[in-house]
Structure 1
Amino acid sequence: MREHDRLYIGGDWAAPAGTGTIEVISPHTEEVVGRVPDGTPADIDRAVAAAREAFDHGPWPRMTPAERADVIARLAALYADRLGDFAEVITAEMGSPILFSHLAQAPMPQLMLAYFADLARTYAWEEERQGMLGPVTVRREPVGVVAAIVPWNVPQFVTMTKLAPALVAGCSVVLKPAPETPLDAYLLAELVQEAGVPPGVVNIVAAGRETGEHLVSHPGVDKVAFTGSTAAGRRIASICGERLKRCSLELGGKSAAVICDDADLAATMEGLKMAALMNNGQACAAQTRILAPRGRYDEVADALSAMVSGLAVGDPSDMGTEIGPLVAARQRDRVEGYIRLGQEEGAKVLTGGLDRPHDRGWYVAPTVFGDVGNDMRIAREEIFGPVLVLIPYEDDADAVRIANDSEYGLGGSVWTTDVERGAGIARRIRTGSCGINHYIIDVNTPFGGYKSSGIGRELGPEGLAAYLEHKAIARLAPPPQ
């Protein structure tokens, strides 16, 4: 049991304003594994005030980028020493298989800290241009106080897509972890304090949706950075639009994996284990629409069904587990509802279905649907669980058409032995990222979506730019006396 009775505000551990608590439930045992204070609007007010003070009057935005980079590099080094702790906590609180936690949940955030610390030293914070009337200095300056609101599925990963570039830029941050996964944020707070990040630059308040909306609408916040559902993103965008507040939104996806007619199926299936089913299918960029050429459809169906049915489902703390439980009972019920819906729509369950793999824990059998049309709801709506739909296509143009026939535009992949052919297909798919014979999120390159998958980009230099304002300083020499 991990219990905390304070919030991290202003560089110190502060007593909460209210008496409510958040209980963290193990998705595997359905038992309480942690307890933290449930943040209130009053706690948010204190956190924003601390962030505002740190930004308006503190040293952080006034340090040179290299000085900030030194502090962030220290944080990255401290983080590296605690990777095992982060992996274990995230697996305990949300059910991610421990192998995935060791491979991605914990190390990727540390890589982001190191990447952005390095970028700070080489980024063009100022540049000189020739204006119409004389020389102009173009400066990049921090946007201000950032509200970072993160989901439960990859909590530290999403936290760092916001926190690392915001810190490099010179911003101060109020971080609101999801109520399902607040425990990892307490580990982060310890490291922030140990690394010597000045008071008020990072503040952490776990809370629910209503308190989150208070943070979004707070007049002391200059920018909102949100990852979560498209529905919640629309609400946040409307609030920010009314207030002309900057926002970046990384939202849902229904990514298509295009299997070409020349694909090596054995290698493709091995790659899709991660690309399609990472984190128990609870990933916005998961490749959940599998597009198969009509001439190889049955062959792909057999290979995909065999791969999915062979996955080890069980205790997420076991290194041999490939699929663990879903985060909450409501999420399990939602995914099972989609499985019922798929059957009602006329799709065929090729493997999996509604038989639960375990009596205890929020488990869903990894499921593949065949005979799926792209107009079915199971092909159009984000299920957020280990459910794949197999859709036939006629030729490359048809595959591109189906891939693009979606509300979303986050990720995608093409599986082929002809990499140039795959790149040609990828160029025609309207998504923010696309992989050839794999799908990963690369900290060096921009990540984000087209259409309803969001606004803006995270990671890479583009991710840093999202936390900067651009100022032009034009100089005109006085007339000669």
Structure 2
Amino acid sequence: IPEQVATAIVRGAFEFQGQKCSAASRAYIPKSMWPDVEKMIRRDVDSFKMGSPEDMSNFITAVIHEGSFDKLAKYIDRAKSDAHAEVVIGGNYDKSKGWFIEPTVIVTTDPKYVTMETELFGPVITIYVYEDHQYTEMLQLVDETSEYALTGAILGQDRYAVIQATKALENCAGNFYINDKCTGAVVGKQPFGGARSSGTNDKAGSKLNLLRWISPRMIKETFVTPTDYRYPFLGE
């Protein structure tokens, strides 16, 4: 359902100004669905209140520091000028009073575009619109595009498509969500961690993580020590 996809993108990419390691930074949308999803994302972004975090009604506040602001502004400006990218929502920024980046959606025709491969750590998401019949090829693109493997999500009503994605993407997201946004793991309930350049998938928030804080030692003691190198199978 387009509204569910749009909500997952808006929450996953823009909550906390996208300053979460699990935030959605890229998304793949089928061509037939994208017009409706874009319309709903635009509706939501237009409704955002932006301002001080002291006002809990503000969905968007400033990014963490000027260095982050400048980096994000650079990538937004690049997307505005690159032939393979287009800023379709947002794209404005202002640091006259605080470091405010407007929630931004970039659409690219290049699935390996720089912001599809780079973790920006800000309220910027890049969308690649794929042909509906190229679902299988799209899953391969998802798996091979980013060096990171922390979180990912699939939204779909076709159970076979969901299972296909879950299998195809088994190595590219240590925390994988079905029909939900890719953020919000609860410590003790959803152990958290990823592999590839995201780490060694230690799963913080679970007993599995305790193995990273110990030094395993294995001891073998033999009571009947061999005195002949020959094994029984060597016999004629």
Aligned length: 215
Letter in 2 for 1:380: E
| Superposed CA offset, 1:319-378 (max 9, x none) | 11111100111111111111011112232211111343x741111111111234222112
| Superposed CA offset, 1:149-169 (max 9, x none) | xxxxxxxxxxxxxxxxxxxxx
1:375 match? 112
1:349 match? 87
2:150 match? 410
| Superposed CA offset, 1:283-337 (max 9, x none) | 1211121210022222222222222332221111111111110011111111111
Counterpart check, 1:470 vs 2:209: no
Q: How far apart are 1:456 and its partner, in Å?
A: 3.7
CA contact (8 A) 2:26 2:126 kept: yes
1:35 match? none
1:399 match? 138
Letter in 2 for 1:427: K
1:447 match? 192
| Superposed CA offset, 1:376-410 (max 9, x none) | 11221111110111111233212212211222222
Residues 372 and 312 (structure 1), Cα distance of their counterparts in 2 relative to 1, 3 Å cut:
farther
Q: How far apart are 1:459 and its partner, in Å?
A: 2.6
Letter in 2 for 1:279: F
1:304 paired residue among 35, 41, 48: 41
* Structure 1 segment 88-107 matched on structure 2, within 5 A: none
1:425 paired residue among 165, 175, 185: 165
* Structure 1 segment 206-355 matched on structure 2, within 5 A: 264-346=1-83, 347-355=85-93
Letter in 2 for 1:441: A
Provide the secondary structure at the position in 1 that maps to 2:88: strand
- In structure 1, distance between residues paired with 2:217 and 2:206: 21
Provide the secondary structure at the position in 1 that maps to 2:138: helix
CA contact (8 A) 1:309 1:351 kept: no
| Superposed CA offset, 1:421-448 (max 9, x none) | 3243122112212101113324244422
CA contact (8 A) 2:140 2:168 kept: no
Letter in 2 for 1:364: I
* Structure 1 segment 23-102 matched on structure 2, within 5 A: none
- In structure 2, distance between residues paired with 1:410 and 1:328: 24
Letter in 2 for 1:413: A
CA contact (8 A) 2:80 2:86 kept: yes
CA contact (8 A) 2:156 2:179 kept: yes
- In structure 2, distance between residues paired with 1:452 and 1:478: 47
Q: How far apart are 1:476 and its partner, in Å?
A: 5.0
Letter in 2 for 1:285: S
- In structure 2, distance between residues paired with 1:359 and 1:387: 20
* TM-score, normalised by the number of residues in structure 1: 0.42
Residues 425 and 456 (structure 1), Cα distance of their counterparts in 2 relative to 1, 3 Å cut:
closer
Question: Alignment RMSD, CA only?
Answer: 2.3
Letter in 2 for 1:272: I
Structure 1: runs of 5+ lacking an equivalent: 1-263
Q: How far apart are 1:471 and its partner, in Å?
A: 2.2
1:138 match? none
- In structure 2, distance between residues paired with 1:415 and 1:314: 31
* TM-score, normalised by the number of residues in structure 2: 0.81
CA contact (8 A) 2:173 2:194 kept: yes
Structure 2: runs of 5+ lacking an equivalent: 226-236
CA contact (8 A) 2:3 2:37 kept: no
- In structure 2, distance between residues paired with 1:377 and 1:309: 26
